[in-house]
């Protein structure tokens, strides 16, 4: 027998129940994002590796350890995108979007790749949706993005959502804080990676999964914020209060990417069995310049679709689907041909119907209709086909009516309306 294959480690096929959650999440997110003025953008799955090195930062786990990077046949160094913000900013700059009214608001929904140790909620290919507002930054925009996502999660049926917030300050006040942090880190025991990071990029130590205890006694950035960063942070929190967003201050939240300035946040569910962040984001006013653009404020968020789907499943959120109430059953070649046409008539009328054109036995088709809890079956045998008619059988009461094919749609509509 030929070799059988499996999905690569940490990657999954999406089908059945999972895709139902994904479709629902997409529906809620795209409707809501458009309402808030975000237009869809999809960037390539692959970018020049430097886009991520510069944007996310060379000392981050993502760039150091988790990127799928390779050389193309044309000798270009590229990487599968580990996140979406860098690509969207590259697109903003490349497509001169600064000529549009600012901020340019964009949302995306697609797969991303990180070579992480796979475990529940952490995969090597995962999906994110993200919102990015580029070209203008202020506490109102930050708060509106947080509140938009908070509302989406609620619309998806999630309860006990909480947002952890902190501020990273701007380049000036963060510089002062980094000095204090470096001093502190010299005195404590660090993992080998952090020994190096303590010198090159000390903030990354606060994000290390191994040096968790180190951060408990570390100086807190909130004490080092300059007046304008503190004011901005305070204003954003006031807006969140206004919009009834439940949040917690977390002075150690630094996020795993280097491009943040100002407010940062992560979404969680207050449930020990769902410990991983559903998503996160913040302000990133310096990213445009890092990618060769001019000075542009920006703000955004990205959410893990698998983690949201997991939370929905755990909370027993049911996806209500418009299930067909009609089944088309046929017997014989002439009837099959006519039923194919009837199926198309219903599709054009936007009335969902089930069929089983692959089956020839009427009994097994009606058994299937019963299993699907179908209310009405349209049954056509050779005799009905010749007379250009079909039987509508009420599968609950067993009553049957013979109707002309031309009247089928009308008759079914009447039954659907009256439900009897
Ligand atoms: P991030 O925190 O790296 O931020 O990722 C956002 C979310 O993506 C995470 O909270 C998580 O739900 C999901 N995620 C990340 N890695 C994995 C994984 N290996 N398996 C499953 N889910 C995962 C960003 O990506 C930033 N680009 C967010 C942002 C947008 N900041 C500003 N704009």
Question: How much distance in Å is there from the Cα of 57 to the middle of ligand 1?
Answer: 15
Residues 279 and 363 in one domain: no
Statement: residue 242 has pLDDT above 90: yes
CB of 64 closer than 6 angstroms to any ligand 1 atom: no
Q: What is the mean pLDDT of residues 192-213?
A: 88
The pLDDT of residue 196 is above 60: yes
Model pLDDT for residues 37-58, shown as the tens digit of each residue: 999 999 999 999 999 999 999 9
Same domain, 245 and 375: no
Q: Which residue has the tokens 């949302």?
A: 107
- 178 lies in some domain: no
164 lines ligand 1 (CB under 6 A): no
End residue of a domain, out of 293, 314, 335: 314
- Residue 216 is predicted with a pLDDT of 84
| Residue 246 belongs to a domain | yes
Place of tokens 């109430």: 325
Q: Same domain for 354 and 260?
A: no
Q: Which of 52, 91, 115, 128 to mutate to test the pocket of ligand 1 (most atoms within 8 A of CB)?
A: 128
Indicate which CATH number applies to the domain containing 350: 3.40.50.800
Separation between Cα atoms, residue 227 and residue 233, nearest integer Å: 10
Going by C-alpha positions, the residue among 284, 268, 265 that lies closest to residue 276 is: 268
pLDDT of residue 118: 84
Measure the CA–CA gap between 18 and 35, rounded to whole angstroms. Answer: 26
In this prediction, residue 208 has a pLDDT band, given cuts at 50, 70 and 90, of: confident
For residue 81 and ligand 1, the question of a CB distance below 6 A is answered with: no
- Tell me, using a 6 A CB cutoff, whether residue 280 lines ligand 1: yes
Token output for 47: 């970018």
**Among residues 247, 282, 314, which one ends one of the domains?**
314
Q: Are 266 and 347 in the same domain?
A: no
> Minimal CA–CA distance to 306: which of 280, 276, 282?
276
Co-location of 285 and 160 in the same domain: yes
> Which of 52, 105, 126, 131 for a ligand 1 pocket mutation test, highest count of atoms within 8 Å of Cβ?
126
Separation of CA 83 and ligand 1 centre (Å): 7
Q: Is 162 left (phi over 0), alpha (psi -120 to 50) or beta?
A: beta
Q: 413 with 361, same domain?
A: yes
Decide which of 260, 288, 314 is a domain's last residue.
314
Question: Nearest Cα to 296, choosing from 128, 132, 60?
Answer: 132
Domains in the chain, number: 2
Task: Using alpha carbons, list the distances in angstroms from residue 159 to 118, 163, 198, 329.
Answer: 26, 12, 38, 43
Phi first, then psi: what are they for 171, rounded to 5°? -60, -30
Q: Give the strands of the sheet with 69-71, arranged side by side.
A: 46-48, 77-80, 69-71
Here the CATH number for the domain that contains residue 253 is 3.30.930.10
Model pLDDT, residue 52: 98
Domain membership flag for residue 220: no
Which tokens in the block code for residue 274?
């769902």
93 vs 296: CA distance, rounded Å: 10
Is residue 114 lining ligand 1, measured as CB closer than 6 Å? yes
296 and 230 within one domain: yes
Are 27 and 162 in the same domain?
yes
Instruction: Report whether pLDDT(359) > 90.
Output: no
In order of 18, 123, 129, 280, the CA distances from 306 in angstroms are 9, 9, 10, 14
Are 371 and 241 found together in one domain?
no
| Tally of CB atoms within 10 A around 120 | 12
Q: Supply the range of the domain harboring residue 304.
A: 17-170+226-314
Contact 349, 196 (CB under 8 A): no
Residue 220: the pLDDT is 94
The verdict on the CB of residue 82 being under 6 Å from ligand 1 is no
**Residue 152: how many other CB atoms lie within 10 Å:** 23
56: its two tokens: 């996310």
Asked if the structure places residue 357 within a domain, the reply is yes
C-alpha dihedral, 290 to 294 to 298 to 301, nearest 10°: -40
Residues 63 and 142 in one domain: yes
| Residue 322 burial (C-beta neighbours within 10 Å; 0-12, 13-18, 19+) | exposed
- Residues in CB range of 406: below 8 A, 6 or more apart: 388
Is residue 161 a contact partner of residue 175, using CB atoms and an 8 Å limit?
no
Q: Is the CB of 128 under 6 A from ligand 1?
A: yes
Q: Are 59 and 159 within one domain?
A: yes
> pTM score, two decimals?
0.92
Residue 108 covered by a domain:
yes
Between CA 410 and CA 161 the distance in angstroms is 47
Percent of the chain residues topping a pLDDT of 70: 100
Distance, CA 270 to ligand 1 centroid (Å)?
19
Residue 322 pLDDT class (50, 70, 90 cuts):
confident
Residue 248 lies in a domain: yes
Backbone angles phi, psi at 179, to 5 degrees: -60, -45
Identify the pLDDT of residue 420: 56
Cα 302 to averaged position of ligand 1 atoms, centre (Å): 6
Average pLDDT of the residues of the chain: 95
Residues 285 and 356 in one domain: no
The two three-digit tokens of residue 134, written as one number: 């580029």
Q: What is the pLDDT of residues 74-117, one digit of tens each?
A: 999 999 999 999 999 999 999 999 999 999 999 999 999 999 99
What is residue 154's DSSP assignment?
H
């Amino acid at each position: 027998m030929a070799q059988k294959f499996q999905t690569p480690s940490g990657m999954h096929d999406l089908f059945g129940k999972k895709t139902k959650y994904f479709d629902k999440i997409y529906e809620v997110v795209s409707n809501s994002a458009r309402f808030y003025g975000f237009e869809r953008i999809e960037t390539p799955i692959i970018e020049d590796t430097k886009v991520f090195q510069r944007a996310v930062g060379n000392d981050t786990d993502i760039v150091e350890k988790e990127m799928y990077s390779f050389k193309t046949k044309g000798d270009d160094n590229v990487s599968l995108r580990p996140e979406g913000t860098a690509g969207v900013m590259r697109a903003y700059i490349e497509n001169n979007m600064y000529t549009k009214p600012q901020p340019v608001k964009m949302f995306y929904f697609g797969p991303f790749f990180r070579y992480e140790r796979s475990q529940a909620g952490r995969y090597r290919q995962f999906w994110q949706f993200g919102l990015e507002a580029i070209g203008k930054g202020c506490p109102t925009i930050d708060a509106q993005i947080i509140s938009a996502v908070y509302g989406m999660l609620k619309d998806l049926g999630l309860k006990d959502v909480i947002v952890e917030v902190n501020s990273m300050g701007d380049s000036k006040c963060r510089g002062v804080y980094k000095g204090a942090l470096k001093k502190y880190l010299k005195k404590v025991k660090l993992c080998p990676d952090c020994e190096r990071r303590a010198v090159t990029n000390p903030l990354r130590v606060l994000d290390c999964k191994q040096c968790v205890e180190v951060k408990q006694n570390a100086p807190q950035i909130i004490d080092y914020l300059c007046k304008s960063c503190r004011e901005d942070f305070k204003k954003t929190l006031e807006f969140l209060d206004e919009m009834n967003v439940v949040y917690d201050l977390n002075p150690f939240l630094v996020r795993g990417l280097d491009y943040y300035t100002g407010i940062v946040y992560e979404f969680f569910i207050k449930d020990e069995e769902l410990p991983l962040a559903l998503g996160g984001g913040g302000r990133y006013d310096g990213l445009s310049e890092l990618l060769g653009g001019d000075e542009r404020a920006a703000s955004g968020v990205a959410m893990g679709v698998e983690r949201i789907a997991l939370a929905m499943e755990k909370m027993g959120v049911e996806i209500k689907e418009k299930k067909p109430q009609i089944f088309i059953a046929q017997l014989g070649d002439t009837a099959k041909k006519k039923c194919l046409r009837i199926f198309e008539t219903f599709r054009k009328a936007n009335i969902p119907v089930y069929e089983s054109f692959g089956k020839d036995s009427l009994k097994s088709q009606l058994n299937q209709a019963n299993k699907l809890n179908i209310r009405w079956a349209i049954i056509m045998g050779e005799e009905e086909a010749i007379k250009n008619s079909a039987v509508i059988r009420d599968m609950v009461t067993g009553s049957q009516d013979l109707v002309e094919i031309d009247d089928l749609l009308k008759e079914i509509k009447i039954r659907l309306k009256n439900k009897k």
